[in-house]
Amino acid sequence: MTGGNRGIGLAIAQRFAEAGDHVAVTYRTGEPPQGLFGVQCDVTDNAQVEQAFKEITAHQGPVEVLVSSAGMTRDTLLMRMTEEDCTTVIDTNLTSAYRMAKAASRTMLRARKGRIILIASASALYGAPGQSNYTASKAGLIGFARSLARELGSRNITVNVVSPGLTETDMARALSDDQRTAILQQVPLARIGQAQEVAAAVAFLASDDAGYITGAVLPVDGGAAMGH
């Protein structure tokens, strides 16, 4: 579980822990959440990713479910966006999934089973002004997941995407009131989502009940991106 120290990642980690699973979270800053095994890891650094997998495997055994949730925004209009604004967001949100999936799939291929779940965003499907770097990274996750689903399916490894809409976390709290209002006007359920609602979708995709689902994009967005 990457980005498991706060927000959606923490809610997912807690959900698995409550179900009795062995959970390992990566955190970049601060402390690991209380009661959960944590490994410090910046997902943009491949050496740290490799080290995190070593520590997690030594502590808890092979990774059976990978949830990649670490992510960031650096919102600005294209004309003001520096190349670094673009590449940093893509590295953190998209290339990190490549690093994580590559490390996790090694043991999953050996075990001939596994679940990879990537957290994208509804905005990747309908676009968002000022977020071209972010939406490109999140749309990239969908193509990445679908290709992996084809590469790994014969080994009983499923690869799926959960696509949250606006969800009550620090990331959403960073938006202005005007931005929040504009987004919520597009949500049929007319409210912001809760991190626990995203966690429930992830738990389903990791469960035995979802054994015949791969390459899917599961929206948890109050209907905002339906039809996309």
What distance in Å separates the CA atoms of residue 19 and residue 144, rounded to the nearest whole number? Answer: 29
Q: Is 3 in the site for ligand NDP (CB under 6 A)?
A: yes
Q: Is 197 in the site for ligand NDP (CB under 6 A)?
A: no
Least Å distance, CB 123 to ligand NDP, is 7
Q: Which stretch binds ligand NDP (CB under 6 A): 54-62, 78-86, 125-133, 162-170?
A: 162-170
Q: Residues 49, 70, 86, 116: which binds ligand NDP (CB under 6 A)?
A: 70
Output the six-digit token pair for 62.
């092979």
**Active-site residue list:** 134
Which CB sits closer to ligand NDP, 1 or 148? Answer: 1
Q: Is 107 in the site for ligand NDP (CB under 6 A)?
A: no
**How many other CB atoms are found less than 10 A from the CB of residue 224?**
24
**How many other CB atoms are found less than 10 A from the CB of residue 91?**
17
Q: Is 169 in the site for ligand NDP (CB under 6 A)?
A: yes
Is the CB of residue 9 less than 8 Å from the CB of residue 2?
Answer: yes
Q: Which stretch binds ligand NDP (CB under 6 A): 51-59, 77-85, 147-155, 169-177?
A: 169-177
What distance in Å separates the CA atoms of residue 49 and residue 40, rounded to the nearest whole number? Answer: 9
What are the backbone dihedrals phi and psi of residue 39, each rounded to the nearest 5 degrees, phi first?
-130, 130
Q: Is 219 in the site for ligand NDP (CB under 6 A)?
A: no
Q: Residues 31, 83, 170, 178: which binds ligand NDP (CB under 6 A)?
A: 170
Helix (H, G, I), strand (E, B) or coil at 170: helix
Least Å distance, CB 155 to ligand NDP, is 26
Least Å distance, CB 199 to ligand NDP, is 11
Surface-to-core class of residue 8, CB atoms within 10 Å of its CB (0-12 exposed, 13-18 middle, 19+ buried): buried
